[in-house]
Amino acid sequence: MAETVSPLSSLLGNLRRIGGMILRGVLALAAITLVAWSFWRVGAREFSRLGEAVATDDIELVVMHWSGDGGPEEDAIVEEALARFETEHPGVRVRRINPGDAGSFYTKLQTMLVAGEPPDVFYVGAERLSNFVELGLLAPLEEFVGAGDDEAASSFDLGAFFPATVDAFRYDGDRVGTGPLYGIPKDFTTVGFYLNLDLLKRAGVEPPGDDWTWDEFIEIARRVGELPDATGAEFVTWPVMVRVYLWTQGLDVVGEDFDDLRLDDPAVVAALETLRAWRHEEENTLTSGRSRVASGSAVFQTGRVGMAGPFGRWVVPAYSTLTPDESKSAGEIAFEWDFLPLPRGSERANVVLTVAWAIAERCEHKREAWELVEFLTSAENQAAQSRLGLAVPTRRAVAESDAFLDESVPPANDRAYLDAAEVARVAEWPVDPRFEQLFGSRMDQALRSGDLSLADAAEDFEANWRRVRESPLADADRPTMPWNAVAIAAAAVLAVGGFAATWRLRRGAPATTGARAEERAGWWLASPWLVGFAVFMAFPIAMSAALSLTTWNGVSTLGEASFVGLDNYRELLVHDRRMHTSLRVTAYYALLAVPLGQIAALAAAMLLHAKAPATPLFRAALYLPSVLAGVGTAVLWRWVFDGEDGLMNAALAPLLAPLGVEPPQWFGADAAWFGPPAFAIMSLWTIGGSMLIYLAGLQGIPKELVEAAAIDGAGAWRRFRNVTLPMLSPVVLFNVIVAVIGSFQVFTQAFVMTGGEPGDLTRFYVLYLFNLGFESYEMGYASAMAWILLVVVLLLTVAVLRGSRSLVHYEGLKA
Amino acid sequence: MANVSLKQVSKVYPGGVRAVDAVDLEIADGEFVVLVGPSGCGKSTTLRMIAGLEEITSGTIRIGDRVVNDVAARDRDIAMVFQSYALYPHLTVRQNLEFPLLRRRRHAGRLRALLSPAYAKARREEIAAHRERVDAAAKVLEIESLLSRKPKALSGGQRQRVALGRALVRDPAVFLLDEPLSNLDARLRLEMRAELRMLHRRTGGTMVHVTHDQEEAMTLGDRLVVMKDGVIRQTGTPIEIYERPADSFVAGFIGTPAMNLVEGLVQATGGNGEFVARRGRDEQAVAWRFPMSATRADAVLAGSTGRAPRPTTLGLRPDAVRVLASGETGDGGATGASESPASEALVLDATLEAVERYGDRMDLVLDANGVRLVSRSNVPVEVAEGSTVRVELDLSKAHLFAGDGLGARID
């Protein structure tokens, strides 16, 4: 039929076209306005800050701190102090950043350092001092404190501080404790044990005095352990606590320097063996160490542990709520408790754990920054901080005032923290954080979970540490990365690639103008994604490839990265035992999680596909875990797999009892075999995504095919095996590949639930990568690790694709 | 081979939709029965209930001597051909044909064959026997050359043959065919119809075939079952149904072009009666009338109280409507409605609305004073569309149906 265009309809058509143009115009304008507005907002904020400062000649100082255990109260105290400082110092304005807890603080700090814009004044924990100084991040404070003739500095008296706390921030380029000063300690703590006085009384034990010994300690633990339903003591085996314990015996893990390892010293071995035996050869004397949930400071709060430690002052705010008073209801846990310093061995010893205010080397207003540090560490501010009860003021006068020694709040024995300071030292660690990590992980495995002998732990630690020291990567005399050459090479590759791509596109370009316009429109529509991909994906990927050829700490600027060629890869593939372990752990997990997950997902999808009542409800219920926050669910699952009180073992115990088998200690002594499977079981919880894809696949199978098979005499299994499964095979392949890739990227669960422990038995590949990159500051090494992972996953994917060729039937797919 | 018997079989879906309502049907051993009706009439549901793909709500289904109400589809010994063919896309044609035989394998165990030579021999023989059966079926359907292909590489007609082959290969008690021809183009459909008849003759199997195409039904079935709204309206041989449709629905559904159904009423006029054709929907407007014999009128009016005029539908097959050549007077003789009571023919003026030519015959769509009539002519009629023609209605071939809801036949 011939199309007749009436004047009216052509008018309407034009109107519609014009309307469409107007609408598109309005939308485009709105989008541009939105972008422009957001740029303007951000820009204006930055400029106004700059402008104000310039206009008023004001100096701006950026202060960064954390308020982890102190919470909003600590936040408010700092806020208030800074406000007072601003009033007292006209011309200086302070911008405060509080990223939250210490972990977020260091992440943020690292980002700011790399960006070349560190805060001017910030917290530094003593344990990070040597590292930060080595990286050239901290300004020495000698010129402000030391020079006695300086009028301003003379008012600042370091003698007013506990000497051990000040020494913690001296570093001479080799050892902590001597040399220039890099921070003014804001507060500190010594460590000891917290005692449940009610339990001790029930056990008929008199609380000992401050000068107690390890013999007394273990005797009390044994006595309390004899009480029904109670354990003697919780003894944490953190690296620093293991060292302090050795100090009290007049020993240490190292001699003169960190190349002089003393773990094979018979005295050290004997001391550690005593500690191990207390836990593993006696019932109920020390907490079993099997469970990670019920360990640390929280164990004390159950009221079923006689003593807990060694902990510092930081647990006091949490324990304060345990003290009985009228406001407590009957069911609540409440008991009398107090603090005792670390028991004495052959000598008294203790450790100073402290945080200081430090000034960035890059800070442009060091004089003003110093004034701020001085102000923040003044007696007045320390008194205010001390209200939190979290830590001990570093000024002796404040610490010995009522601001700290307040009798009305527990613990009664506040003075013990101060007395211990007299015998306390700084726990120094090598600049390379891997020493402490390795030592901690091996001691944890040997002393707490007990699945590694002390000798093996020592041997393994030494071998790993020596490799770190002796690998070619440790060689400092490396050329810096030739970034210019890299940039030129990258530009050349881009130019050639771009030219080739354009040429190919031109060759296949559509002939008609209409088609060209359509193609252009396509590129425009895809452009936001393309730009996003280039900036946020392609560039970082290329950068990580370049970085994998360097050693770079991730904190200094890129210019300081030194070029090491393929040494990172060689080190990883040939020498790094921990990396091999992590790969084995991950592969073990993948081997379990992928098949189990796919079978479960397919089974669930088939149940949902069969018409059952309340299908939408079950569908939602099965998918729900996939949308929950990973960290939260990981915490819950940690409890499920808890060795002693976990749901999983509570369910398994009656089933295994007739066989005479005890349920496994998933993340304890049996972690080598049962740790990764626990994660695999947990992964079954998040099959929702695969399940939905299977469900869609099942719904795409023509019903008649299954009916035809039924009529052709096939039973349920043969219908599944010969019709459903082949028809579904492309979907299965897709899901398997996605699952394989996902299984090699496990991170959150392991990070939250076990942190890789015990030892490295649940240290998944990506977790180890994270440890190296963000905790050991080995960003180049970690980048190489990421590329090895990419190759491994790529090879596996290719293997799956190749291996499944004869099993996957694409004929069933609709064209 | 077996007979199939349905007694008071109903299917009610959740929500109360009654798809099949108390169907009684006896299908003899070796019979070719076609269930026919418009879409949604319940014919497919009936077939699927026989197959066991659909549970029955009430009633009894027997195949042979066995009540199969609670027997799973796989155990009913039936074969079914689906409209979409339902070939297994990942299997070759040979594997498709072998699929129904797999269940009959008594020596399937590969492992056992390794251990026992006797078993292995039996297994080999069995496989060979099944191969022969597949080859035989493929030969009958002329698809031997396609055996190693996959369904994707086949044309519609070839797929249809494979689907038939899969049913044929295992010699079932009953063949069920669910609109097997409707995905084929017209020419292929004609070919396959003949082929189906041939297959039926060769196998002598009991076949139940479902279609919405009445022509297919007429040409294929030994017996037709016409269904509407879940109810069987008429069962009979194609000729019986064509010549004596049980009600106005069957009359209108069976036959191409469809029977002319004229709404009107029958009333007594003196000693005789007459049929008054209604014009459109208007009850009062009279299009035309024609006299009818006293016996016929009596038969109609017997159904109404006090011989009051009774709504009636007049049915005339298109071949009972004849367009007269110019000058021809026809048997009715007179013009308009003025004809003798004895005559069994009526001549009218009508406008020729449209002509459909088939070469050997033509269908003429007419408007006889507001009543639409279709005429079939085997001789060429050279009249321009839009002109007026004279039409003769052969009332000896007229069917009368009650003008109420069901439209039952009046003899």
Q: Does B353 fall in a domain?
A: yes
Question: Does A411 fall in a domain?
Answer: no
Least confident of A233-242, A328-337, A687-696, B54-63: A328-337
B152 CA: distance to closest CA in chain A (Å): 7
Q: Which of A51, A66, A94 is the last residue of a domain?
A: A51
Contact of A727 with chain B, judged by CB distance below 8 Å, is answered with yes
Evaluate whether residue B153 is within a structural domain. Answer: yes
Q: Which residue of A has its CA nearest to B84?
A: A704
Residues A505, A395, single domain; the answer is no
Which residues does chain A have within 8 Å of residue B173's beta carbon, measured at their own beta carbons? none
Please indicate, yes or no, whether residues B356 and B222 belong to a single structural domain of this protein.
no
Handedness of CA A733, A735, A738, A739 (dihedral sign): negative
Q: Are A577 and A611 within one domain?
A: yes
Query: Mean pLDDT throughout A507-535?
Result: 86
Residues 6 or more apart whose Cβ sits within 8 Å of residue B32: B197, B200, B207, B209, B220, B221, B222, B223
Domain total of chain A: 4
Range in A471-475, A676-680, B122-126, B173-177 with the lowest mean pLDDT? A471-475
Angstrom distance (rounded) from CA A214 to CA A236: 15
Residues A99 and A178 in one domain: yes
Beta-carbon separation of A722 and B88 below 8 A: yes
pLDDT digits (tens, 9 = 90+) for A191-226: 999 999 999 999 998 889 888 999 999 999 999 988
**Residue from the list A705, A711, A812 with its beta carbon closest to the beta carbon of B74:** A711
Contact residues on chain B for A729, CB-CB shorter than 8 A: 90
Residue A102 has pLDDT above 90, yes or no: no
Question: Where is the domain boundary, B245, B276, B292?
Answer: B245
Q: Same domain, yes or no, for A521 and A575?
A: no
Classify residue B377: in a domain, yes or no. Answer: yes
In this predicted model, what pLDDT tens digit does every residue of A451-500 receive, in sequence order?
788 888 888 888 888 888 888 877 777 888 888 888 899 899 999 998 99
Q: Residues B308, B213: one domain?
A: no
Q: In the prediction, which pLDDT does B330 show?
A: 60
Transcribe B4-27 into DSSP letters: EEEEEEEEE-TTS-EEEEEEEEEE
Query: What's the domain count of chain B?
Result: 2
* pLDDT, tens digit, 9 for 90 and up, residues A730-742: 999 999 999 999 9
Q: In angstroms, what separates the C-alpha of B65 from chain A's closest C-alpha?
A: 20
Q: Are residues A41 and A167 in the same domain?
A: no
Residue B167 shares a structural domain with residue B277: no
In a domain, B252, yes or no: no
For residue B291, the model assigns a pLDDT of 82
Express each pLDDT in A246-257 by its tens digit: 999 998 888 877
Q: Are residues B147 and B53 in the same domain?
A: yes
B220 and B290 co-located in one domain: no
Q: Which of A139, A100, A89, A91 is nearest to A119 (CA)?
A: A139
Q: Give the model's pLDDT for residue B341.
A: 45
Whether residue A589 has pLDDT greater than 70: yes
Contacting B residues, span 36-65, partner chain A, CB-CB under 8 Å: 51-53
Statement: residue B332 has pLDDT above 60:
no
A598 and A747 in a single domain? The answer is: yes
- What's the mean pLDDT in A306-326? 86
Whether residue B212 is found in the same domain as residue B303: no
Asked whether residue A88 is domain-assigned, the answer is: yes
Considering only alpha carbons, which residue of chain B is nearest residue A723? Answer: B88
Chain B: nearest CA to A704, how far in angstroms? 6
**Residues in B touching A713 (Cβ below 8 Å):** 74, 100, 102-104
Closest B-chain CA to A711? B74
Does A36 lie in the same domain as A67?
no
What are the beta bridge partners of residue A336? Answer: none
A10 inside domain: no
Residue A6, pLDDT > 70, answer no
What are the tens digits of pLDDT across the range A18-54? Answer: 888 888 889 889 988 888 888 888 777 777 766 655 5
pLDDT tens, B209-248?
999 999 999 999 999 999 999 999 999 999 999 999 999 9
Looking at chain B, the whole-number percentage of residues with pLDDT higher than 90 is 45
Q: Report phi then psi at A810, rounded to 5.
A: -85, -5
Chain B residue whose CA is closest to A707: B53
One domain for residues B104 and B190: yes
Predicted local distance difference test score (pLDDT) of residue A793 = 94
Judge whether A614 lies within some domain: yes
Note whether B184 contacts A: Cβ–Cβ < 8 A. no
Cα–Cα distance, A534 to A526 (Å, whole number):
12
A748, two tokens = 């959150």
What's the CA gap between B238 and A809, in Å, rounded? 46
Q: Tell me what pLDDT residue A153 has.
A: 46
- Max avg pLDDT among A174-188, A577-591, B105-119, B296-310: A577-591
Domain encompassing residue B197: 4-245
Residue B57 is assigned to a structural domain of this protein: yes
Closest CA to A380 of A392, A395, A370, A366: A395
| B350: CATH | 2.40.50.140
Q: Which of B45, B47, B82 to mutate to test the interface with A (most CBs of A within 10 A)?
A: B82
- Together in a domain, A47 and A177: no
Considering the domain architecture, whether residues A727 and A759 belong to the same structural domain is answered as yes
Determine, for residues B80 and A708 on separate chains, whether the beta-carbon distance falls below 8 Å. Answer: yes
User: What DSSP letter does each residue of A544-599 carry, written as one string?
Assistant: HHHHTTEE--SSS-GGG-EE-TTHHHHIIIII-HHHHHHHHHHHHHHHHHHHHHHH
Stated pTM of the model: 0.74
> How far B131 CA sits from the closest chain A CA (Å)?
17
User: Could you tell me if A39 and A140 lie in one domain?
Assistant: no
B107 lies in the same domain as B194: yes
Q: What are the backbone angles phi and psi of residue A26, rounded to the nearest 5°?
A: -60, -45
For residues A35 and A96, membership in a common domain is answered with: no
In a domain, B13, yes or no: yes
Q: Assign residue B91 the CATH number of its domain.
A: 3.40.50.300
Which A-chain residues 690-719 have CB contacts (< 8 A) with chain B? Answer: 702, 704-705, 707-715, 718
CATH of the domain at A726: 1.10.3720.10
Chain A environment of B80 (Cβ under 8 Å): 707-708, 711
CB B392 within 8 A of CB B331: yes
B130 occurs within a structural domain:
yes
Give me the sheet containing B272-279, strands edge to edge: B282-292, B272-279, B260-269, B310-316, B399-402, B409-410
Q: Based on the fold, state whether residues B236 and B264 are members of the same structural domain.
A: no
Arithmetic mean of pLDDT, B110-117: 85
**A508 domain residue, yes or no:** yes
In the predicted model, what is the mean pLDDT of chain B?
87
Given a contact cutoff of 8 angstroms between Cβ atoms, the answer to whether A305 and A284 are in contact is no
* Cβ–Cβ contact B82 with A under 8 A: yes
Contacts of A142 (CB under 8 A, 6+ apart): A180, A181
**Of A272-286, A410-424, B322-336, which gets the smallest average pLDDT?**
B322-336
pLDDT at B338: 43
The reply to whether B73 touches chain A by the CB within 8 Å rule is yes
Pick the residue with more confidence: A183 or A451? A183
**Are residues B273 and B378 both part of a single domain?**
yes
- Residue among B90, B100, B103 whose CB faces A812 most closely: B90
For chain A, give the mean pLDDT: 86
Report the distance separating Cα A240 and Cα A428, nearest Å: 9
What is the model's pLDDT at position A295? 59
- Give the model's confidence band at A3: pLDDT under 50 very low, under 70 low, under 90 confident, else very high: very low
Q: How far is B166 from chain A (nearest CA, A)?
A: 9
Q: What is the reported pLDDT for B337?
A: 44
Candidates A792, A758, A785; CA nearest to A771 is: A785
| B206 plus B126 within the same structural domain | yes
Is the minimum CB–CB distance between A722 and chain B shorter than 8 Å? Answer: yes
Q: Could you say which DSSP state residue B372 is in?
A: E
Task: Please check whether residues B108 and B212 belong to one and the same domain.
Answer: yes
User: Does residue A649 lie within any of the structural domains?
Assistant: no
Q: Is residue A664 part of a domain?
A: no
Residue B381 within any structural domain of the chain? yes
pLDDT digits (tens, 9 = 90+) for B13-45: 988 889 999 999 999 999 999 999 999 899 999
pLDDT in the model for residue A690: 93
A721 touches chain B (CB under 8 A): no
Residue A358, strand partner residues = A122
Q: Distance, in angstroms, between B200 CA and closest chain A CA?
A: 20
Q: Is the pLDDT of residue A271 over 60?
A: yes
A108 in the same domain as A32: no
Range of the domain at A364: 58-189+357-399
